[in-house]
Structure 1
Amino acid sequence: MLNFVWLMKVKVVLKIFSLALFIGAVIIELKALLGLNYPPDVKVYHALVIQLAAISFLLMLHIQELIKKVSKARKRWEKLANNLTCCVILVDKNDKVSFWNKKAEEILEWKAEEVLGKDISFLFSTKSSAPIAEVCTVHLRGLKKCETDILLKNGRLKRVELTDIPLSGARDKERLLIVRDPLEVSALEGKLMQSEKLACIGHLAAGVAHEISNPLSSIQSLVQLVQRKSKEQETQKNLKKVREHIDRIARIVRELVDFSRPTTGEMTRVQINDIISSAVGLLRYDSRCEKLKFELALNENLPEVKGVPDQIHQVVMNLILNSIDACQKMGSTIEIKTYRNGKFVVMEVIDDGEGIKPEIIDRIFEPFFTTKDVGHGTGLGLSVSHGIVASMGGHIKVESTPRVKTKFTVCIPVDNQEVK
C-alpha cells in the first residue's frame, strides 16, 4: 500500500520536472530561432536540458509500468483477502485502518467505507476483559494473539480471537489484524474431530465385517443343508426365521463393507436427472409407495457432474428411501428438484413426513445413528451418502420442521468441462 502511494508521488514529481525541463528547452530553442546568440555555456545547458527531459520521460514511463504492476498485485491481494473466512484488517503506521475485508463487514457489522481512515482503537471497548485494548492505544505492540471483546456497530460486545501480525520488522510499518469468531473455530475443530472419528469407525467396520462374514457364510450353508434334509413343518418354520435373521446380518455386513471401503469405480460425466428418474421409476414398485405421491421438478438444462454413477445412484436411493420411511400417512408427497446454483448442481429431496427432532438433527450423518425401529435400518445410509458427496467435492445438508417438512439438499460441483 505504501509503495503504491510512494510511486504515485514520484510519478507526479517527475511529470512536473519533465514539464519544466521541456518548457525551458522550448524557450531556449525559440530564442535561438529568433537569432539571439547565446554564450557556449548556455548552449551546453540547452543540450543538457533536452537530455534530462528525455531521461525524465523514460523514468516516468518506467514508473507508470511499476504502478500498473503494483496496482494489479494490490487488486489480487484484496480479492484474496475478501474471499477469506476470517476478518482481515490492515492498519498503517499511524494505527489508521487502510483495508477492511468482506468478512470483517459481516462479523463486525461495520462497512469498509465507515472505518477506512479511522483509528483502530474505535473497535476496542474500555470494558474489554483482555489487555489488548490498552495495547491498541500504544500502537498494538506486544501481544500477538489473544481473545478479546470488540465493539460492534450497534454497541454490543462480541468475543473474538485476535491475531496481530507485523508486516515487517520495523516499528513504523503496516500491521495485519486477523479476527476470527471463536464459535466458528470451535465448529471447524468439531468437524475435524468428526472426520477423524469417522475414519476410525471405518477401519473398525472393515475389520468387524471381515470377521463376521466368514463364519456367517458357514452358518448360512449349514442352515440350508438342514432345511433340505428336515421334513418337519415346525422345524422348517423355525429355520426360515433363522435364515431371515442371517440375511439381515449379511445385509448389515454388506453395508459395513460399503461404508468402510475406499471409492471405487470409474469417474465419468453423469447426468443426475437420469439417475433420479431411474431411481424413482424403480421405487414406484415398492409397496410402501402406493400411498405416496412423487413430484419431480428436474431442470432440463442441468449440466453434468463428474462422479461414479453407481455411487450417485446410491446417494439418490438413500435419500428417497429415507423420505419414504418418514412418510407414513396416506397422500404424503415426496418432491425432488434439481437446478444449477453457480458452480454446483443442486438436488433437493423434500417430504412432508414425520421430520427430524431438533435435538438429533446434528447427529443424522453419524454412522450407526438411526431413529428407525430395530430391524428396519442400520444407520449407515446417510453416513455413506455424506461420504460419497464429500469425496466429490460437494456437501449435503438437512433442514427439518417436525411433522411439516424435511429437506435434504445435495450440492455437487459441475464437471469442469461444463463450466463456462
Structure 2
Amino acid sequence: MSYNSAQQTPNASAFAPSEFQAEGDKHILVVDDEDGVRNLFASFLSESFDCTTAASAEEALLLLAARPYALVISDVMMPGRNGIELLREVVARYPDTVVVMCSGIDRTQRVLDAVRLGAYDYLVKPCDLDVLAMTVERALERRSLLRAARQYKLDIERSNDELRRSKAELERLQTQIIQSEKMASLGQLAAGVAHELNNPAGFIYGNMEILDECTRGLACLLAFYEAVPLAPDLAARARRIEEEVDYGHALSDLRSIIADCREGAERIRDVVQNLRTFSRLDEAEFKKVDIHEGLESTLRLLARYYSADGVRLSRDYAELPPVDCFAGQLNQVWLNLLVNAAQAARAGGEVRITTRRDGQMAVVRVSDDGQGIAPEDLKRIFDPFFTTKPVGEGTGLGLSVTYSIVERHRGTISVESTPGHGATFTVSIPIDAPRDAEGAEGQTHQR
C-alpha cells in the first residue's frame, strides 16, 4: 500500500525529542520496499535524527553491521526476507536497538507475534506522522530507560562485589587481629615461662657446680681416711659403717646424679634460649636478622615433634646476608610452614629446607613428600579458616597469618603442588627493606 503525498505532509513541529534521548539515539534506520514510505518517513525524521533508509531486510542487515542504530522502523511484507525475519535478527544481534514494525494490513495475530518476538510497537499504514513522532519518542525513551536500567544493574552488581570483597577483607583483618592478639599473648606467656624457668635453672646449675666441688672434696677426704691407720676398734666400726652406707657406690651414684642434674639444667637453659630466640620479644624492632638462625631456632623447638613421627629433615642453605625483618614474626612463618610440612610428610617422610639469594630477595623453600594439595584447594590455601585437615585438627588460620606476615614484610609467598608428589612453599623476603616497610607493622594490604 502506498501513501498519497498530498494527504501526508511532513510537520516537523509534530515531533519533539524526549529529554531521555542521548547523542547515541540520533541514528534511525527506515526499512521499506516502497519508495514513497521510505522517503516520507526519512524526510519527516531527518528534521531531528540522522536517518538512513533501506529497501530490503538484506540491505538493512548490512547497514546494521556497519554502524549501531538506536531504532529500526521496518515494514512487515517485503520481497525476500520479510520484516519478521529482520526483527528476529535485530533482536538476537543488536539488543540495544529498538524495533517498530509497520504494515498496511491490520491483523491482531501479526501484531501479537511481532510484540512477542521483541518489537516495541506496531504501526498500521498509512499512519499519521504525529503518531509516528510519538511512537519514535516513546521507543527511544524506552531504549534509554532500558539501557539505564542495565547500567544501574551493573553498578549494583559491581557495588555488591565491592561490598563482598570489603566484607571478606574485614573478616580477614578481624581474624588477623585476633590471631595477632593470640600470638602477642603467646609471646608474653613464652617470655614469662622463659623468665620463670631461667632463674631456677640458673640456681640448679650453679648449685650443681658447688655440689660437684663438695663431692670431689668428700671423695678426697674419704680417700685420706682410708690411707690413715686406725685403732682396731675404730677400724672395725669404720668397716661396719662402710658396709651399711656402701659409700663407694654412693659416691659414684652421686657423681652420676650431679652430671644428670647439670645436663637437665643445661637443657632447660637451651629451651629458654630457644623460646627467647623464637619469640624475640627482646628484639621487637625492625632490624637485620640471620634467617638461618631463625630457621634453626624453630627447628630446635620442633625437634621432638619431628623425631616422634620419624620425619627426616634435610637442609640446603646458601650463603645469605642478614635480612631486614621483625624476627619474631618471621619465625612464626617458619613455624607454621615446618609444622604443616611435618604433618603432610607423615611417618618416615622427608621435609627439605632450601635457601638461596635471588637478586635482592632472600628465598626460603619448605618442601614435603606428602600427598600434595588438590588443585581446587590451591586457590584457597591462604584464605582464613580454610583447612584440608580433619575437623578438630586445624583452625585454618596458620597459612592466612603466614601470608599476612610475609605481605607485611613486602615479600611474597607461593605454593606449588602436584597431587601425590608433595608440596613446596616458597617465601621471598627483601634483603634490604623498602623505606616504608619499617612502619608497616600492623598495616595490611589487599591480595
Please say whether Structure 1 and Structure 2 have the same fold, judged by a TM-score greater than 0.5: no
Larger radius of gyration: 2
Relative to the length of structure 1, the TM-score reads 0.38
